[in-house]
Amino acid sequence: MSQENVEFVEALLAGSGSMDKQALLAALPELIAQTCAPDIEWVEDPQRADSDIYHGHAGVRQSFERWLEQWDEYVGEAERFVDCGDDVLVIAHEHARGTASGASVSSRIYMAFTMHAGKIARYREFYDEQAALEAVGLGE
């Protein structure tokens, strides 16, 4: 089952990664309903100043909308997928340009997707590699 989880997350990120901001926002309701469990827990990195924890499909959509509204451009590129049983750890690089400032930013991001019954039951994001590894049981 864990290889299926990796393939699911790879396909999800490949499909959504090819969309521009407006297309992604338009696709969110259907995409979330198809890929996320109804009681999903969506956890933003606690180190972010605006970090929050969301629940359910409406919460996932709110998190995405809040995040994307601050960027004129946003692209995430998955670099590696790590099979961790029920969890899939994605190591990615994100690039964005701020709406208000016009400043370009780039950073590494770690995403842990916990799968249950073929859907995402929990999402956790990290900007700290060690925290991400510990979250999926790979830490020291």
Q: Can you tell me the mean pLDDT for 13-40?
A: 88
Helix (H, G, I), strand (E, B) or coil at 23: helix
Higher pLDDT, 37 or 20: 37
Question: Which pLDDT band holds residue 18 (cuts at 50, 70, 90)?
Answer: low
Q: Can you tell me the mean pLDDT for 38-44?
A: 97
Strand partners, 61: none
Q: Sheet with 87-98: list strands edge to edge.
A: 53-55, 36-43, 119-126, 104-116, 87-98, 71-84
Q: What percent of the chain has pLDDT over 90?
A: 65
Enumerate residues 6+ apart whose C-beta is below 8 A from 54: 41, 42, 43, 44, 60, 62, 63
Two tokens, residue 29: 């309701």
Higher pLDDT, 36 or 96: 36
Question: CA 40 to CA 6: how far, in whole Å?
Answer: 18
Average pLDDT, the chain: 91
Query: Which pLDDT belongs to residue 73?
Result: 83
Query: Which pLDDT belongs to residue 30?
Result: 93
Query: Which pLDDT belongs to residue 48?
Result: 86
- pTM, entire model: 0.92
Q: Can you tell me the mean pLDDT for 129-136?
A: 94
Q: Can you tell me the mean pLDDT for 104-132?
A: 95
Asked if 89 and 115 touch (Cβ cutoff 8 Å), the reply is: no
Helix (H) / strand (E) element for 46: namely none
